[in-house]
A and B are shown apart, each in its own frame.
Chain A
Amino acid sequence: MSATMESALKARMARQEGWNRPPHVEPEGEGELLELSMGPHHPSTHGVFRMDVSLDGERVIRLKPVFGYLHRNHEKIAEGTSYLASMPYTDRLDYFCSLTNNWAYALAVEKLAGQEVPERAEYLRVILAELTRIQNHASTIGFLLQEMGASGTPLMYAFREREKIMDLFESLTGSRLMCNYMRFGGCRVDASAAWLDQAHKVVATIPEFIDEFERFLRSNEILMARTQGMGVIKPELAVNAGLSGPMLRCTGVGYDIRKVDSYGIYDRFQFRVPVGDHGDIYDRYMVRMLEMRESVSILNQALKDIPGGPVMDPKAKIRNFRPKPGEAYGRIEAPKGELGFYLISDGGPNPYRYRVRPPSLINLTILEDMCLGHNVADVVLIFGSVDIVLGEVDR
């Protein structure tokens, strides 16, 4: 090999350093590896997900994720129905956060059709999205601790708060889980003054809950021992692999679509974007904790400033909705990361192409990089810290 070729190769290797894929882990000593299939029925897989793991004793040498146990033809169904009829299906993507899914889809269609959203509807969207973020992060942390062995109790605390938020969702949208609330050009129904009052009351109790949660957890020895330095992601890898949300921010990359795009009316609110430093499970946990606090601050501002007026653009067309031919990509900062919808219209009543950019799936692509070399018990934790929902991974 000539010297120039060698240096070029070296330069290329240096550029690819950040990828670090796949990290090479060698088994120690001799003997066969244990092939283990974790899932699809496994208490820690958050649904139906399978990991084919090769183990050397307890150490993971190879990990291969197997998807598709919850593939429900979301995109294909959406291409066959009208734009509006896909809205309830978006609820069932990430079934923890139906309202942010609604928003992302409504945003994409509004971009496609060039629709305006009234002021009050924008505020309501922000309020609902931030409430969704709080309940998602609280439950995620609860589940993470459950996988650490704290069976039930932290999850009980998280779900106690979650039920309060679910009550708000139910009284506004009529459903606890599958809200189906947003429409192209606004929201389905207006929030009453009593609802906003109740929202105020619920939001006022959340900081107390976060304090309590943190008091229990922040200096907990088991939590520290099992999460610090575990499942580390390098920032280069995180960027290259297209991670988003808390998974990206835990590595120290301050990228939040609420700040970058300021979609909706996010430029009106004062909030900070918490970033981690080490990219380990503890940082992901901490970023989520801090994000809940920032959400509370956004909620307080939004609930204070919410104006009156209609919640639906009066010019918005509900029946016979046919956007002009074209394409649009709408994205928001969902609790799990960048949730985007890519739509191509050919002028018909249903989209020609409908594509979801799911944060859960893309955050999961580096699972092997995080898990190799760790014990199999830590795989459960690392997997839990990614925060996925299988409805969104497999669609």
Chain B
Amino acid sequence: MAVDEQLKIEMGKQGVIVTSLQELYNWGRRNSVWPMQFGLACCAIEMIATTMARYDMARFGAEVFRPSPRQADMMIISGTVTKKMAPQVVRLYNQMGEPKYVIAMGACAISGGPFKQGYNVLKGIDRYIPVDVHIPGCPPRPEALLQAFITLQKKIDGQVLTGEGRPRHLDAEAQSIFPVPEQGEHDLEPTSNKGLWTVPTIIR
């Protein structure tokens, strides 16, 4: 239930903060998203540049890059995911504790990008794990990564804690671990995880 804005302002003048549990919860989580220290390819350099002094991702509460997936909330898929690497990426995602978010950074992570025609390149990580924000670009600029992060923060801000649209980590029945693909005879098997990705219909 949303708190009346006018009441908030009036009480704020008196030095009293009025808020709902949901707002407080989302506020806290939005400002302390810890990304995983996980670089794949070229975009990782821009990801590092984003955390450095000029772009300074710490302003948004995301400066603590954790090497271990157990301590991380967000995974930035920064670069080309090859078919050799895809199982490890899914495994790392599974090892992260809920709530967890994924940013697919750059053309390669979204769709294979310039290397799509290659036999060894996965055509988008969203075939295996759910992606929250996609950023186009090859590589995206640090500002673009910040924009993606702010988008993710807005998404966290809009979460309702109960009812139908509640996030995955508050829903006991929601799936949070996804099958790890294996190297098959010709391709990864399965070629995509069920319910995540369907072959797009081409509208002519």
Residues of A within 8 A of B (CB): 40-43, 46-48, 68-73, 76-77, 80, 88-89, 92, 95-96, 155-156, 159-160, 162-163, 166, 176-178, 390-391
Contacts and interface: CB of A to CB of B under 8 A. Distances in A.
A245 to B, nearest CB: 19
Contact of B46 (A68, A72, A80, A177): A177
B41 A390 contact: yes
B49 A70 contact: no
A160 B52 contact: yes
B49 A163 contact: yes
Given A89-B114, A155-B52, A177 B45 contact: yes
Given A47-B40, A95-B42, A69 B85 contact: yes
Interface residues of B, number: 32
A94 to B, nearest CB: 10
Interface string B76-113: 00011010110010001000000000000000000000
B42 A178 contact: yes
Contacts of B41: 47-48, 70, 72, 92, 95, 390-391
A41 B85 CA distance: 9
A77 B112 CA distance: 13
A32 B42 CA distance: 39
A176 B114 CA distance: 18
A78 to B, nearest CB: 11
B43 to A, nearest CB: 9
B139 A177 contact: yes
Given A69-B88, A70-B85, 7 more contacts: A47-B44, A68-B82, A71-B84, A80-B117, A96-B45, A159-B49, A162-B49
Contacts of B118: 72-73, 76-77
A71 B118 CA distance: 9
A38 B49 CA distance: 25
B134 to A, nearest CB: 19
A315 to B, nearest CB: 30
Contacts of B52: 155-156, 159-160, 163
A258 to B, nearest CB: 25
Contacts of A76: 118-119
Nearest to A159: B52
Interface string B30-50: 000000011111101110110
A160 B53 contact: yes
A152 to B, nearest CB: 8
Contact of B139 (A69, A73, A160, A178): A178
A70 B48 contact: no
Given A48-B85, A160-B54, A72 B115 contact: yes
B48 A69 contact: no
B107 to A, nearest CB: 11
Given A40-B88, A68-B84, A92-B114, A73 B120 contact: yes
B46 to A, nearest CB: 6
A92 B42 contact: yes
A289 B117 CA distance: 40
29 contacts: A40-B88, A42-B67, A43-B37, A43-B67, A46-B39, A47-B39, A47-B40, A47-B44, A48-B41, A68-B82, A68-B84, A69-B82, A70-B41, A70-B80, A73-B120, A73-B121, A88-B114, A89-B114, A92-B42, A96-B45, A155-B48, A159-B53, A162-B49, A163-B54, A176-B141, A177-B42, A178-B139, A391-B41, A391-B42
B119 A73 contact: yes
Nearest to B83: A71
A80 B114 CA distance: 13
Contacts of A40: 85, 88
